[in-house]
C-alpha cells in the first residue's frame, strides 16, 4: 500500500469533490493572493519555486491557532496547551505518512529547509566525518546545500568535493561513480534543481552512495510540491524539505532521518524541550525527534503545513499531471521565441523552466515582466556554481504551481516578446 492510499483510506473526512479533468479554476478560487492586480494588470504568479501561494484553508488554520488554540506545546497542563500539542503532533504523524517514513519519530521539525540542512551538516559531520575525509555535493545545489557542508567540514579539516554535471545540466553519474571510489562519508544532493527544475535519479544516486558506504542526504524542497515522495522507495538516509514551497506557511521545515541514524546523532541546538535531565554535573538529552527541537517551535506554521500537505494530497495525481502539461506548454512556447534560450532543458523536469533572452539581462527582463503583471524570479537563484557551469550570470525562472494555467504562460510569452521589442 502506498502512502497515498493509506492517507486517503484514513477516513479523515477531507475527501475533495474534484472531478476529472482537473478543475484549475476551482483550485484558483482557493488562493486569495491570485485575485489581485499589479500595476493595473491581473497578477500572473510564476514564482512558486521561490514560495508558493497559500490556499485559504492554510491561512485559516494559522489564524485558528492564534485565535483559539494559542498556547505553548508539550508544557502546559491546561486545555489550550493540550489542543495545540495534539494538533502539532498530529502533523508529525501526517508528514511521516506523506513521505513514506516508517515512524513519526523519524520526523524532525525545523525552521525551514536551510536550518534542516545546517542541522544535518553540523551533526553528521560531528558524528561521522574526520580530518581528511570527503563529502560529495552536486554542482547543481542551492547554496543552502553547499555552504553548511563547507562550514562543517572546515571545522574538522574535511573536504567538500563537487559532483560534476553534464552539458545539459544533469548530474554526471559516471563522474559520481568515480568520486565514490574515493570513499566519501556523505553524499548530499537535490531531488529537483531549484534553478532548472531538473529531476535527479535520486533512487540510483542514493543506492550508489549506500553501496559505497556513504550516508545520503537529499534536499527535497522543490520535489515535495510537485512529486510523490517516498523516502523508503528512494532508499535515502536523510530527506529535507520546507513548508512554504508546498503551500504551507514560512518558517517551517522537515528533516526526515532514518531512525537508527538519527538516534546516533548528537544534539544540534541546546535549549528547552530537547533534554532529558539538566544538571551542572552533566546534561542528558531526549530521544529523536525531540533531541533536535530545542525551544518553542513554529506551532502555527507546523499546523498550517499539515493542512497544506493534506490539501496537496487531496488534489492528488491530477494536479501533478496538470502542472506537467503547463510546464511542457511553457517550454514549447518559449522554444518558439527566437531570442530565448532555455537553460537546463531536460525531459526529467518539474515545476520550473529557466531561460535567458539574447542581449537582455535577466534583471531588466524581471522589471519589464513585473510591469506586465507577470511575477518571475531573476538572478542566480542561490546556485552560483550552476550558473558558472552554464556560463551565464543569471537566468529568468518561471515556476509553476497547482494553480498555474496555459493562459499564464501566454501572458509570460507576450511580456517576453514586448521585452525583446523594448530593448531592440
Partner 1 sequence: MDLGELYQELILDHNKHPRNFKRVAECTHHARGDNPLCGDKLSLELVFDESGRVRDIGFQGVGCAISRASSSLMTEAVKGKTRAEVLALFDLFHRMATAPMDAEHVEMAGLGKLEAFSGVREFPMRVKCATLAWHTLHAAITEGDSLVTTE
| Footprint of partner 1 (CB under 8 A) | 360-364, 367-368, 371, 378-380, 384, 387, 393-394, 422-423
Tell me how far apart the alpha carbons of residues 376 and 353 are, in angstroms, rounded to a whole number: 11
Nearer to partner 1 among residue 316 and residue 393 (C-beta): 393
In whole angstroms, the minimum distance from the beta carbon of 263 to partner 1 comes to 39
Give CA–CA dist 52/89, Å, rounded: 24
Query: Shortest Cβ distance from residue 340 to partner 1 (Å)?
Result: 17
Partners of residue 341 on adjacent β-strands: 356
For the question of residue 413 being annotated catalytic, the response is no
Nearer to partner 1, 63 or 418 (CB): 418
Q: Which of 153, 382, 406, 413 is catalytic?
A: 382
CB of 361 to partner 1, least distance (A): 4
Which burial class, exposed, middle or buried, applies to 20 when counting CB atoms under 10 A from its CB (0-12, 13-18, 19+)?
Answer: exposed
Nearer Cβ to partner 1 (188/387): 387
Q: Which is closer to partner 1, CB of 66 or CB of 422?
A: 422
Is 249 in contact with 300 (CB distance < 8 Å)? Answer: yes
CA separation for the pair 248, 58 (Å, rounded): 7
Enter the DSSP assignment of 130: -
Strand ranges, E, within 98-170: 107-110, 134-138, 159-163
Q: Which residues are within 8 A (CB) of 69 and not within 5 positions of it... i.e. 6 or more apart?
A: 80, 83, 84, 87
CB of 225 to partner 1, least distance (A): 24
Do the Cβ atoms of 129 and 186 come closer than 8 Å? yes
Comparing CB distances to partner 1, the nearer of 91 and 398 is: 398
Least distance to partner 1 from the beta carbon of 349, Å? 23
The SS3 assignment for 225 reads: coil
Please check whether residue 190 is in contact with residue 351, taking contact to mean a CB–CB distance below 8 angstroms: no
Query: Rounded distance, CA 327 to CA 220, Å?
Result: 19
Query: What residues act catalytically?
Result: 382
Amino acid at each position: 500500500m502506498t502512502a497515498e492510499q493509506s492517507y486517503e483510506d484514513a477516513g479523515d473526512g477531507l475527501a475533495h469533490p474534484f472531478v476529472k479533468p482537473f478543475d484549475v479554476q476551482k483550485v484558483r478560487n482557493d488562493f486569495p493572493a491570485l485575485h489581485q492586480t499589479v500595476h493595473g494588470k491581473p497578477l500572473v504568479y510564476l514564482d512558486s519555486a521561490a514560495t508558493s501561494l497559500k490556499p485559504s484553508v492554510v491561512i485559516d488554520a494559522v489564524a485558528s491557532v492564534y485565535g483559539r488554540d494559542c498556547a505553548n506545546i508539550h508544557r502546559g497542563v491546561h486545555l489550550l496547551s493540550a489542543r495545540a500539542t495534539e494538533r502539532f503532533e498530529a502533523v508529525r504523524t501526517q508528514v511521516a505518512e506523506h513521505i513514506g517514513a516508517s515512524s513519526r519519530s523519524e520526523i524532525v521539525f525545523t525552521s525551514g529547509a536551510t536550518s534542516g540542512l545546517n542541522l544535518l551538516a553540523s551533526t553528521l559531520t560531528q558524528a561521522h566525518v574526520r580530518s581528511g575525509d570527503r563529502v560529495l555535493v552536486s554542482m547543481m545545489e542551492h547554496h543552502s546545500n553547499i555552504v553548511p557542508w563547507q562550514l562543517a567540514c572546515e571545522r574538522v579539516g574535511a573536504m567538500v568535493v563537487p559532483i560534476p554535471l553534464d552539458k545539459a545540466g544533469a548530474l554526471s553519474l559516471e563522474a559520481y561513480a568515480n568520486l565514490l571510489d574515493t570513499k566519501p562519508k556523505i553524499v548530499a544532493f537535490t531531488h529537483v534543481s531549484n534553478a532548472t527544475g531538473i529531476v535527479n535519479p535520486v533512487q540510483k544516486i542514493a543506492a550508489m552512495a549506500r553501496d559505497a558506504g556513504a550516508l545520503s542526504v537529499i534536499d527535497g524542497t522543490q520535489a515535495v510540491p510537485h512529486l510523490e515522495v517516498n523516502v523508503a522507495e528512494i532508499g535515502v538516509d536523510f530527506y529535507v524539505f520546507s513548508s512554504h514551497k508546498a503551500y504551507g506557511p514560512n518558517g517551517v521545515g522537515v528533516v526526515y532521518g532514518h531512525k537508527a541514524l538519527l538516534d546516533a546523532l548528537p544534539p544540534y541546538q541546546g535549549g528547552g524541550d530537547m533534554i532529558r535531565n539538566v544538571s551542572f554535573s552533566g546534561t542528558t538529552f531526549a530521544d529523536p525527534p525531540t533531541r533536535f527541537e530545542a525551544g518553542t517551535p513554529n506551532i502555527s506554521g507546523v499546523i498550517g503545513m499539515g493542512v497544506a500537505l493534506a490539501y496537496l494530497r487531496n488534489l492528488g495525481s491530477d494536479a501533478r499531471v496538470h502542472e506537467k502539461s503547463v510546464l511542457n506548454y511553457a517550454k514549447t512556447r518559449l522554444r518558439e521565441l527566437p531570442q530565448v534560450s532555455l537553460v537546463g532543458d531536460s525531459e526529467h523536469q518539474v515545476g520550473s523552466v529557466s531561460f535567458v533572452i539574447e542581449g537582455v539581462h535577466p534583471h531588466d527582463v524581471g522589471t519589464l515582466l513585473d510591469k506586465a503583471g507577470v511575477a518571475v524570479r531573476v538572478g542566480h537563484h542561490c546556485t552560483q556554481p550552476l550558473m558558472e557551469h552554464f556560463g551565464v550570470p543569471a537566468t529568468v525562472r518561471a515556476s509553476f504551481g497547482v494553480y498555474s494555467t496555459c493562459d499564464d504562460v501566454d501572458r509570460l510569452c507576450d511580456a517576453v516578446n514586448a521585452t525583446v521589442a523594448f530593448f531592440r
